[in-house]
Amino acid sequence: MARIVVLGAGFAGLWAAIGAARKRDEIGTTDIDIHLVDRNPYHNIRVRNYEVDLSEVAIPLPQLLDPIGVSHGIGEIDAIDPARREISLVSSRGNETLVYDRLVLALGSEVMRPDIPGLAAHGFDVDTYAAALRLEAHLMALGRSASSPGHATVVVVGAGFTGIEVAAEMPERLTRAGITGSRVILVDPNPAVGTTIGEHARPVIETALSSLEVEMRLGVRVEAVEAAGIRLSSGEVIATQTVVWCAGMRASPLAASLPGARDRLGRLLVDPFMRVADLRGVFAAGDVASSVVDGLHPTVMSCQFARPMGRFAGHNVVADLAGQPLLPLRIDWYVTVLDLGDWGALYTEGWDREVQTTGAAAKATKQAINRKRIYPPLSGSKDDLFAAAAPIVQAPPPTYGAR
């Protein structure tokens, strides 16, 4: 029996596993085993980790994979040997080795943590579900404690997509925790907020953050983080007990251990079929992979690309094993929907990010995406899961109301 191993249960990995099971079912073979490995027993709706309510952002893997006959295990991947087609991992049973005939690498990305004094010990992030829960527990504990210097001040480092969403949502999170008189400060080394988001979107973001009374510290870097404060390169010391690090993402370090070309974010370069160049039998999808999907633009690290990359990788890895034609992934649209807390949201279209809707109208789109569009079916039905895993590209999300 041939074995397909999928590494990672994020947006790309989950859909690769479901897509592979769908194609296996379509062929009607029982000679292909599909096994998924992740460090956690759940699928995390990672893009919701910044939100106030975390109750629905972790979905147990058995609920999604058992109905479709995909086995799954929990472990930390230690190494991949593409020459021997072996994976070394550490599980609750100790050191293990998995052998594969085809591999789908979908280990995603992680927040970059520079060697800044005190960051590892005192910093928070929302990179994972566990990290988001840790931040939530910290804020709730602050709400129960007596007031002290920096008690009600949150410093968010990094004014990109994640940092802006964290900062915009933070006033409501602090209110929910029972913290009054709060301050939220957004720090970034660039001279303007949202430099990676583009000049069309920036005025909207600035208006929203100003309305939410989020303070800015731009053009400065963090020099040290302590339990009671943060020191900036400007010389300013901000008293705070909560520093949330959102400054930059990079592909899983395991990608660097494999031969082949990578981009500046450490992502493996894949062809339109999600195959990794020069690595026979290896496919990659999601944040660990980069593919030019419209003839010009490479994918960006987002569920918008990870989900279809996963579906196509899953379909193609089974087709490859079965000697059937592979399907190329092509995506001819790109949108950005940025949550801006109680102010609303921002919806842009195109790679130059032309603003389409803002405020409450864009918020409706954002909530439709975060709470429905990116979720796998939760019915436990094999048919529902397979229908959602079809190797197609969804239409852009709907817009609600006028700009």
Tell me the residue type at 403: R
Going by C-alpha positions, the residue among 221, 212, 99, 114 that lies closest to residue 164 is 212
Q: What CATH fold (topology level) applies to the domain 113-247? A: FAD/NAD(P)-binding domain (3.50.50)
The stretches of 323-355 forming alpha helices (DSSP H) are none
Q: Residue 1 contacts by C-beta under 8 Å, 6 or more apart in sequence?
A: 31, 32, 33
Q: End-to-end CA distance of the chain, in Å?
A: 55
What does the alpha-carbon distance between residue 247 and residue 177 come to, in Å, rounded to a whole number? 25
Print pLDDT tens along the chain (403 aa): 999 999 999 999 999 999 999 999 999 999 999 999 999 999 999 999 999 999 999 999 999 999 999 999 999 999 999 999 999 999 989 999 999 999 999 999 999 999 999 999 999 999 999 999 999 999 999 999 988 999 999 999 999 999 999 999 999 999 999 999 999 999 999 999 988 888 999 999 999 999 999 999 999 999 999 999 999 999 999 999 999 999 989 999 999 999 989 999 999 999 999 999 889 999 999 999 999 999 999 999 999 999 999 999 999 999 999 999 999 999 999 999 999 999 999 999 999 999 999 999 999 999 999 999 999 999 999 999 999 999 999 999 988 765 5
Collapsing DSSP states into helix, strand and coil, what is residue 331? coil
Per the DSSP assignment, residues forming a β-bridge with 345 are: 339, 359
Instruction: State how far the alpha carbon of 228 is from the alpha carbons of 223, 256, 388, in Å.
Output: 14, 36, 48
Query: Where does the chain hold its CATH 3.50.50.60 domain(s)?
Result: 2-110+250-335, 113-247
The pair of three-digit structure tokens given for residue 44, joined into one six-digit string? 């995390």
Per the DSSP assignment, residues forming a β-bridge with 369 are: none
The pairing of beta strand 222-226 with beta strand 94-99: unpaired
Per the DSSP assignment, residues forming a β-bridge with 306 are: none
| pTM given for the model | 0.96
Query: What residue has token string 């602050």?
Result: 142
What does the alpha-carbon distance between residue 231 and residue 217 come to, in Å, rounded to a whole number? 12
The pairing of beta strand 183-188 with beta strand 153-157: parallel
Q: Residue 360 contacts by C-beta under 8 Å, 6 or more apart in sequence?
A: 344, 401
User: Does the domain formed by 2-110+250-335 have CATH 3.50.50.60?
Assistant: yes
Handedness of CA 224, 165, 7, 58 (dihedral sign): positive
User: Which segments of 144-257 are extended strands (E)?
Assistant: 153-157, 183-188, 214-218, 222-226, 229-232, 237-239, 242-245, 249-251
Q: Which helix (H) or strand (E) is 292 found in, with range?
A: none
The pair of three-digit structure tokens given for residue 109, joined into one six-digit string? 């990305």
Per the DSSP assignment, residues forming a β-bridge with 42 are: 60
